[in-house]
Amino acid sequence: MVGKELKHFKIEKLLGKGGMGVVYRARDVRLDRPVALKVLRSDLTANPDRRRRFLQEAKAASAVTHPSIAQIYDVDEIEGTTFIAMEFVEGQTVSQLIDKRELDLIGSIEIGLQVAEGLSKAHEANIVHRDIKSDNIMVTRDGHAKLLDFGLAKLLDPVSADEESDVQDLKETETFSHTQPGTVMGTAAYMSPEQARGLPVTQASDVFSMGVVLYEMVTGELPFKGETPLDTMHSIAFDEARPVTFIRRNLPPELHRVVSRCLRKKPADRYKNARALAADLKKLKNDIESGIQRSLPAGERVLMFFEGVKASLPFGPTGIAIFIIGLALAGLLIFTKIEAGALVGLGVIGLFAYRYIRNRKNRMLKRFTSKISKFPEVQAIVRRDDHITVIVHEAKAKTYIRINSLVDLVNKKLYFGRKIEASVRDDLSPEEFQHILRKPSVTYVRDDIVLKPTTELKSEENK
């Protein structure tokens, strides 16, 4: 499209391609200024309801003006091509700065503060970004941060049944990990737990994504990671992030408090909006620049200690609890007049109770496996200790969400012990699948799955 014109925008140069379309540098011939022109993929706007919703969202976002938000100039459709013209920002993305290790602590907090202030302006207008990530934040040469792509992320929301007349389009949204691999893989690590579960998105979702970006800027790592997008979304929904102060020991404790509050699983436990986050980041920035070191409240320090224990020690809180109970029993024997026989009797009763409670986890996992095996797309289930792998022929988002809900239900009912984890696999070759079926860790195989003879399998491998 280089050299062509869309309305009064003349396309000059290709800038890049993404999950939602192609970005060009163009010139507004009326005002003689450069613009970034994003031409959207046709399948994203093929549905009339989705296109209408997108145009409304983009027009609303264009009304939000702030120095830290890349301004939307125009959004339109010409001969079936939907495009959005926005402010052209020269600089580097936060992702590029992290890769080059060009961000220090104060620079990271300054970027976070600028973006949070711009985001608060949007939140005041009841607009949620939905796709905040380090690739969507540009930093200009003079160090000013700009948040990009307001009004675009709603395109990725599955269309609900009452908004969609075409059932086939609705089915396609369930397989978004395949139909939109570039977008999902680039965005999954920054999703909020409610986004990962397919729940409604609020301002608190943007706050969570901001927390992920802050975490990434100050540590160089993402707080939630997985081998696949589905594994990453599972980690977001259930795993706790390691404290930033455990990854980099020289970071101030107050930074840990701010980031961990952003990353709370429940939206109500986070900052209620970006304005509250910006206020704390501004205070933190002033403290660092003035050399003030604020100590965390006692409750926060205890919580931070146990977070570190969970992340660092092999036995975690369970091992500590067992150690304390052992000390208490030893103290009873040494400092009280309880007879040893009575104590042994209590111990035997306690042992039976412990075994019953401990086996409860296995009983719950059997029921969990039984429920998952009823999903028609599930081919096999493998359990290795506390990790369950669900092998499917097609990884639908609906399957992932249902499995996550069941995992969450089991973990909530556990009295103690490690929480269970689950992952969904649809990327196994036929040979890999056959090898897995021969392992003793397989707990379920669908009736129509055929186990090939070993000789046939070896001959196929030798071909």
Q: Which residues are catalytic?
A: 131
The CA-atom distances, in angstroms, between 180 and each of 172, 381, 393, 436 are 10, 26, 18, 29
d(CA 144, CA 85) in angstroms, rounded, equals 21
Please tell me whether residue 252 adopts helix, strand or coil conformation: coil
Cβ-based neighbour number of residue 216 at 10 Å: 21
> What is the per-residue DSSP string for 118-179?
HHHHHHHTT-------GGGEEE-TTS-EEE--TTTGGGGSPPPGGG---HHHHHHHHTHHHH
Burial class (CB in 10 A: 0-12, 13-18, 19+), 406: middle
Residues in the chain: 463
Roughly how many angstroms between the first and final C-alpha of the chain, as a whole number? 46
Cβ-based neighbour number of residue 13 at 10 Å: 11
The CA-atom distances, in angstroms, between 253 and each of 164, 211, 243, 256, 297 are 48, 15, 9, 5, 10
Cβ-based neighbour number of residue 375 at 10 Å: 16
Provide the pairing of β-strand 421-425 with 387-392. Answer: parallel
Please tell me whether residue 369 adopts helix, strand or coil conformation: helix
Q: Which segments of 284-440 are extended strands (E)?
A: 378-384, 387-392, 421-425
The 8-class DSSP code of residue 69 comes to B
379: Cβ contacts below 8 Å, ≥ 6 apart? 391, 392, 393, 433, 445, 446, 449
Q: Which long-range contacts (CB under 8 A, 24 or more apart) does 294-298 make?
A: 294/252, 294/253, 294/254, 295/253, 296/253, 296/254, 296/256, 296/257
d(CA 416, CA 319) in angstroms, rounded, equals 10
